Structures are given as C-alpha cells and as structure tokens.
A and B are shown apart, each in its own frame.
Chain A
Amino acid sequence: MNAPFILLLVLIVGLVAYLAGRSRAFATSNGKLSILHSLPGYHGMYAAICAVIPAAIILAIWALAAPAYIDGSVRGALPEAVHSQGAATTELALGQVKSVANGLKLLDEAELAALNNGSANLRDVLAAKGVPLAGAGEAYMIKSAEQFNSMTSTSHILMAVAVLVIAVAGAILALRGITAPFRARNQVERVMLWALMLASSIAILTTIGIVGSMLSEAIRFFNSVSPASFFFGTVWDPRFAAAGSEATQGQFGLLPLLAGTLYIAFVAMLFAVPIGLFAAIYMSEYAQPAVRSIAKPLLEILAGIPTIVYGFFALVTVGPFLRDISAQLNGLVTGSYVSFIQAQSVLTAGIVMGIMLIPFVSSLSDDIITQVPRALRDGSLGLGATRSETIKKVVLPAALPGIVGALLLTASRAVGETMIVVLAAGVAARMQLNPFEAMTTVTVKIVNQLTGDLEFNSPQTLVAFALGITLFCITLCLNIYALYIVRKYREQYE
C-alpha cells in the first residue's frame, strides 16, 4: 500500500461521496430543486471535498514525516560502536542498513536462515540478488534492517488505515449534513478561492525561493571577496584556481562586464527602437487590414526564434560579413586590406540582438498605439490635419508614456539576453568604447564560470551567483519601473 495507491483510493471515496451527495440532495428536494439553496452538484462537490482534502493533507504529512521518524529510531538503535565513530559513519551505516533492508525483501526463508546463523556472507548473497552493498556488511545490520522493514510496513498500514478512515468519515459527516437550506455552493466556492490563491502564491513563493538561493550563494561569495572590490573593481581576472593553490585568488571586478552589457544593450536598442517603432506605426496606422493580418504574425515569428539561432546567425553570417566588409572599406580608403571590425564585436552582438528585439518593440508599441482612442484621431483629422501630422502631434504624444514603458521592458530583455552574446560578443572583459572590438557581458561570464567540472565552494564559481543577483536586480528595477509607467498610462484612458 504505497502513497499513490492510497491517494487513488481516497479519490475513489471522493467520487462515491460526490455521487452520494448529489443523489441525497436530489432526494431531499422531493423533486422540487428550487427548495434547495444549492444545486445537487454543489452538495456532491462539498461531500467530495470533505472526503478528499483532509485525507490528502494527512497523507502528505504522513508521507513526509514517517520516513524521518523511522530513520531516527533506526539510527538510535544502531550499536554504540557505530555511534562512537561520529555522525558521518552513522549516516553511512544507516544508508547500508537501508540497502540491506531493500535486499532482505528479495530473499527466501532458507537464505534468511543461512544469513542469521552466519553461514552465508551478507554482501555476496545480496549481490546475487542484484543489490550492491557499499561495505562488507556487519551482523547488526540485518537486525536493524529487519527493524527498518517492519517499521516501514507498519507505518504504511497505519497510514492507509488512518487516511481512509478520515476520508470516509469526512464523506459521511458531509453527507449527513445535507439539508435543503445548507449553503453548499458558498462552501465549494470558498474552497475554489483557496485553490486559486494557492496556485498564485506558488508562483510568487518560487520567485522568492530563487532569489533566496541566489542570495545565500552570493553571500558566501562575498565572504571571500569584499563587495567593494566586486562592485567597483575594474579588472575581471578570476584565475581558475588550481587545486590547493590558495594564493591565486583572482580579481572579480564587475564594472567591465556591466559596461559591456550596457554597451551591447545600447547598440541593440539603437537598432531595434527606430525600426520597431516605425514598423508599429505602419502596422497600427497605415496598413490595410489584409496586410496587417499577414505582416503582424510574420513579424512576431521573429520573437519565436530561439535566441541560440540568432547566435548562430551572428557567428556564421553577420560577424564574418562585417569583418569582410570592413576589410574592403579599409582597402578602398587606405590600400591595406586589414579589417577593423572583429568578427566577435559589440557591433555584431548589438545588431543581431537588435534584430531579435524588433518584434518586441513593434508588438508592444503597436498595442499601445492602437489603444489611443479613435476619438482623438478623428478630432485631429477633423481639423484638417493629415494622417502623418495626426500621428506625430496627437497619437505618439498620447502614447509616449506607454511606449517608454515598452522600451524599458525591451531594454531589460536586452540586458538579460545570454545566447546571442555568448556566441557573438566575445569573452574579453575590458572597458573601452570602440564598438568594433569584442567586449563581454555579465551573462557571458555567468555561463563561463559555471561551465565544466567545478567545485561549488570557490569564489571562481560562486561569483556567478553574485553576477546573477546583480543582473536580476537591474532587470527587476527596469521591469518595475516599466510596469509602473505602462499602468499609469492605462489609467488615463479607462
């Protein structure tokens, strides 16, 4: 009787309770449904909820608490000799006991007897059954394993009985409470409300959990590297520490990475904003419905392309193209065919990221421009303004706060973008202003620091969490500010 099977039984009890509750409510109504406060289906649902939910909660608690309790008592029963060797040995022994316990279930009586009188080797017998044992296996382990097995099976039986009794009791109590004025509908709806709240709080709690785990790792990093040298350091040189060589500490300056991140995001926005905005204006103001219905989805397909594909595009097409064309230009002007744009450069990454961002800018701005009331456009057109004057002087100013919000959202995507910059921006962490040279970003360095076989206690890897939480804070602030602006704009027209 394992937990999923018991859960299935509980659900069956719930189904029966539902059917019984419904028919009982029918019976109570004497054929006149209108005398019931709630429809029979609600009475059925109420009975089912009373049967399933308390039982499921007990089941969950039992399934979590029982193994811990059993482990504790088995551990306590281990011989004093084991305990005296420290906690680690105790845990190891407990693990072996559990393996033995698993193996014992597979043995027949003759083999068990042979083990108990010491004529057979525990490890060999279990290995024959396909259960590997880490150590040689001591005699006390068999006893402990038997204790473990019996406690586990007792616990399972007790759990099954308790849960089923609670389920049936809940169902019976609910069924007995069915009367015509009973407000089953309100009760069911309240439970539904709780379910909805639970679902939304899970999303929020997950976010908090992610931030918490990043924060705790980042704090470990800041224990070995001071926050000042991280946030204000201008040199990024982490030096993968050779094992045992404590001296190679490395330098973890955030500023070169932040500069690269913001520079590439800036170049990307430089490409994406005008193109995306113009596309949005065309789509929302000029395009015929037929054109719009084809062109808008096509534009949004760009948003569906995985960013790693953009990365390929940058690496294989855009980067070499820029390098070659710069060589040609240089040759025409100076006569020496040396390219001045590197294949991996701020420009390459910026252009390709800009292409990726175009659909975000255009789609968000398009929504916002379309929201500007038609009355405003009519008012302007009615005064003899042309369509373009109307857009410039009325529609865009009215939509401006929303567009700014959309651009901030886009910028936060640009800052957090990873795959394109990993392939197109390069890994050289330096601070410079030439867009034709390679720079690197926070996300690239996170990937670098976490790739390969690593120990998770050196600052070289822990720095990734500090970088991650910094990036998270930047994008979070951008997003909150953008949402604030967008919401403020919405209220204006509602």
Chain B
Amino acid sequence: MNMMSEAAVEKALDQKMNTVPFKMIGKDVSVYYGEKRALFDVNLNVRENTVTALIGPSGCGKSTFLRTLNRMNDTIDSCRVTGKITLDEGDIYDPSIDVVELRARVGMVFQKPNPFPKSIYENVTYGPKIHGLARTKAELDQVVESSLQKAGLWNEVKDRLHESGTGLSGGQQQRLCIARAVAVSPEVILMDEPCSALDPIATAKVEELIHELRTNFTIVIVTHSMQQAARVSQRTAMFHLGNLVEENDTDKMFTNPDDQRTQDYIMGRFG
C-alpha cells in the first residue's frame, strides 16, 4: 500500500516534468581530448525555463559537457566531440550552423569573473553591438539598463556606468558578466561554477538572481556545492568518471536517488 503510493507520487512527478518541453537534447555525446576520452555516450536533455544543475566530483566531465552545449570546446585544438546535440530540434554540430550564432543563443558565464578591461557600459553593450541588436544610443542605453536590472546590478552601478568593469568587487563582476550574457538575449545560459570565486554573501545574491532568470531563460549550471544545486535547480544530473550516472528532479535526487553512487556522493562518501 505504502509502496504503491510512493510509485504513484513518482509517476505524478514524472508526468509533471514531462509537460515541460526539452530545450536542448544531448544524444550519445562523447568528448575526446586527443587520445583521452572525457565523456562516454552521455544522454542528457535540458528542459525549457528550468535550472538544470550538473554535479559530480572533480574531473567527472560535467564542465566538459556544459561546454559542448555552446561549442566552447571548439576553442581547444585537441578536442573532438561525437554524438548529437540539438537546440530546438536543430543540430548544433551541423556544419551549416554558424558557431557565432549558436553562442548568441546559448550564452555562457565562467567560473572566474572575467569582465573586459573596459567600462561597465561597454562590457554590457559588447554583445549587442557585435550582433547588431541595438542601433541607436537610446536603444543601447535601454539594453544596458534592462540587462543590469535583470542581473540585479543596476542600483549599485547606475551612477558609474563609465568606470572600469574590473574595478568592481568579485560578486559585482560576476553579476556584470551575467548582465553581459543576458544583454545578447540568449535562450540558454550556461554557468560554469559561477560562485566558486565568490564569498557567501555574493554567492547568495547570484543564486537569487539565477532563480529569477529562470522565468526568461533556460539555465544549465555546473556546481561543486550540493547545497547550491539543491537551492537553485529543478533538475539535477550527476556525472562520474565521464558517465552520466543519474538525471532526476532535484527534490528526488537529494532525498531518494535511484543510483547508489549518487547516494554516496551526496552523503559525502566520495568526491
């Protein structure tokens, strides 16, 4: 009786998640760095307007998978990707796809805040200018204000938009990088351990921001912190040694995971 109800709850959850369509679909994704294989046939789908957290011990391939989603691995010479990844049904590794256009649709925020050594204003307008998203000064001003507002930075920097972006604090720099990514109006934002270089207060702000961004964007976040994954994500995927161990609703993942390895990792038995 008890067993039955648990199964029913699971089914209901699955059905609830099933109603959310897939934004990106990864099928049999493998990545090689030269001779070394870093990812083994990963099948992982990213749902629309959902925060998907990728967790796992260091070197498990979670960042590698993240970087395949906007082909940032292309910048590494020895890197080779096999399998298929689609964004809204379009294969992103298709030769006809312009990688520049892809990265405009799938933005990225990096581990270490990396604002350009330019003013805050120029940091935000960098993407829109390149992609021709805004023509007039007024339009650019509008983009800067709305992006900084979305990134929760507007009130802190609105009086010094023309000062250097590198002069901000670490947490502000990271939110500036998020604003910079948001300014291009991407559909998906990839975040590679965005809080690992920040202090707890700055981390809390960025996490809150991720929560708000979910309404407009699909977010994939790599994190080392289990608590962070539990706090910000709806779906969680666990990687181990280049394999996808388990992908599940975050609630279920942290209370009742299907795989013993996930259980062990979450309990802190390895990693």
Q: Number of residue pairs across A and B with beta carbons under 8 Å?
A: 68
B117 touches A492 (CB 8 A): yes
CB distance from B198 to the nearest CB of A (A): 15
B101 touches A380 (CB 8 A): no
CB-nearest residue of chain A relative to B123? A379
Q: Assess whether B70 is interfacial by the CB under 8 Å rule.
A: yes
CB distance from B89 to the nearest CB of A (A): 20
Q: Assess whether A135 is interfacial by the CB under 8 Å rule.
A: no
Interface residues of A in 339-390 (CB under 8 A from B): 373, 375-386, 389
B117 touches A398 (CB 8 A): yes
B184 touches A380 (CB 8 A): no
A382 touches B103 (CB 8 A): yes
Residue in contact with B103 in the complex, picked from A289, A373, A383, A394, CB distance below 8 Å:
A383
CB-nearest residue of chain B relative to A375? B114
Q: Is the interface of A mostly helix, strand, loop or mixed?
A: helix
**Chain B 81-104 near chain A by CB (<8 Å), digits 1 or 0:** 000000000000000000011111
CB-nearest residue of chain B relative to A288? B77
A375-B114, A492-B117 in contact; A383/B77 too (CB < 8 A)?
no
Of the listed stretches B46-54, B55-63, B125-133, B154-162, name the one at the interface; the rest are far from the partner chain: B125-133
Q: Which residues of A contact B127 (CB under 8 A)?
A: 383-385
> A397 to B127, alpha carbons, bound, how many Å?
16
> A21 to B77, alpha carbons, bound, how many Å?
59
Q: Assess whether B27 is interfacial by the CB under 8 Å rule.
A: no
A interface, size bucket: 20 to 34
> A194 to B204, alpha carbons, bound, how many Å?
54
Q: Assess whether A393 is interfacial by the CB under 8 Å rule.
A: yes
**Which among A373, A377, A385 has the highest number of chain B CB atoms within 10 Å?**
A385
A373-B114, A492-B117 in contact; A382/B70 too (CB < 8 A)?
yes
CB distance from B65 to the nearest CB of A (A): 16
Q: Assess whether B227 is interfacial by the CB under 8 Å rule.
A: no
B103 touches A384 (CB 8 A): yes
Q: Assess whether B7 is interfacial by the CB under 8 Å rule.
A: no
> A289 to B34, alpha carbons, bound, how many Å?
14
B118 touches A383 (CB 8 A): no
Q: Which residues of A contact B110 (CB under 8 A)?
A: 375, 378-379, 382
Q: Assess whether B72 is interfacial by the CB under 8 Å rule.
A: yes
A384 touches B130 (CB 8 A): yes
CB-nearest residue of chain A relative to B108? A382
Q: Which residues of A contact B171 (CB under 8 A)?
A: none
Q: Which residues of B contact A379 (CB under 8 A)?
A: 110, 114-116, 177, 180
6 closest pairs, A vs B, by CB? A384-B104, A382-B108, A375-B114, A384-B103, A383-B127, A379-B114
A residues with CB within 8 A of B: 288-289, 373, 375-386, 389, 393-394, 397-398, 492
B residues with CB within 8 A of A: 70, 72, 75, 77, 100-104, 107-110, 112, 114-118, 126-127, 130-131, 177, 180-181, 184
Task: For the A-B complex with A383-B127, A385-B127, A394-B116 known, give 10 more contacts whose Cβ atoms are closer than 8 Å.
Answer: A379-B110, A379-B114, A379-B177, A380-B116, A380-B126, A382-B72, A385-B100, A385-B126, A386-B100, A389-B130
